[in-house]
Amino acid sequence: MDEPFSALDVLTAETLRTDFLELWTEGKLPIKGVILVTHNIEEAVLMCDRVLIFSRNPGHIIEEIKINLPQPRSRMEPAFRDLVERMYVALTARPMTPTHTISTPERTAGMGIDMELPRVSANAMAGLIEAIAGEPYNGKADMPVIASQLHMEVDDLFPIAESLQLMRFAEIEGGDIHLTDVGKEFAGAGIDERKKLFQNQLLNQVPLATHIRRILQERTNHMAPRTRFRNELEDYMSTESATRTLGAVIAWARFAEAFAYDARSETFSLDNPT
């Protein structure tokens, strides 16, 4: 079953999960096993007896978790919440990466201009920063808890959280997300100051943004076609990933006023950066 409940409203999905589990536990299904693909962590704990957690790029199994809770299961049970927390910890674990300022676009594989960027809006990042900064979290939040409060699935929360970590507005550790000093400063700043902070983090922490800005500054007319950077990215990633990555850096740069992009002419420029 490949995400069979993901397109349903909350009540319908919950009803069908319950119906399916009743049929399964009562032995009314003429099958010996079911493989469920899901991005919903609570759904996995609710329905499955064995969970395999996969990484991405490249995909491989990073952890296997056996769930021995009897059916029917309650989301309110401490053991249930502990398993949810364990999965968040596994999914947010990452190899240690340098935290110093990036000064050149050339870095190790996946950490330079070849780093794929998620299509996350600056507004979504700002919204999560504000939520973490506010009550009751005060700068540090348990990811399962804040995901539940904001009614966000893993596919919604993780790209935003990862973007905040990439930009050093937040750090993720042990299933928790906490704001850095610059993240806290961003939360309390006005719109103009936010743009300045965002630009600084973008140009210091995202090699592709640094690379584009440098190329534009070096050119006499301070302009470059989209194909200049798309072709460069396609040396490292698929066309789809290159398109998504360019879209992300364009959106972030517009918010930060780091450089401009004209969609009609598909041209980057330094026309209106601060």
The per-residue pLDDT for range 234-251, each reduced to its tens digit, is: 988 889 989 999 999 999
Residue 217 forms part of a structural domain: no
Rg of the Cα trace of the chain? 22
What's the pLDDT at 57? 66
Q: How do beta strands 50-54 and 176-179 pair?
A: unpaired
pLDDT in tens, 165-203: 999 999 988 788 999 999 999 999 999 999 999 999 999
Q: Where residue 162 sits, what CATH number does that domain have? A: 1.10.10.10
pLDDT category, 266, cuts 50, 70, 90?
Answer: very high
Is 74 domain-assigned?
yes
Do 80 and 19 fall within a single domain?
yes
Q: If you search the block for the tokens 């750090």, which residue do you land on? A: 171
* pLDDT band of 272, cuts 50, 70, 90: low
Per the prediction, the chain carries an average pLDDT of: 86
% of residues, the chain, pLDDT over 90: 56
Specify whether the CB–CB gap between 83 and 45 falls below 8 A. Answer: yes
> Are residues 59 and 128 part of one domain?
no
51: containing domain: 10-92
Asked, for residue 205, whether it belongs to a domain, the answer is: no
Same domain (yes/no): 170, 131: yes
Predicted model pTM? 0.73
pLDDT digits (tens, 9 = 90+) for 17-40: 999 999 988 888 888 899 999 888
**pLDDT tens digit sequence for 36-58:** 998 888 899 999 999 998 877 67
211 in any annotated domain: no
Please state the domain count of the chain: 2
269 Cβ contact partners less than 8 Å away, ≥ 6 residues apart: 216, 222, 223, 224, 259, 260, 261, 262
- Is 71 inside any structural domain? yes
Of the residues 92, 107, 133, the one at which a domain ends: 92
Does residue 24 sit within a domain? yes
111 pLDDT tier (thresholds 50, 70, 90): low
Question: Is 272 domain-assigned?
Answer: no
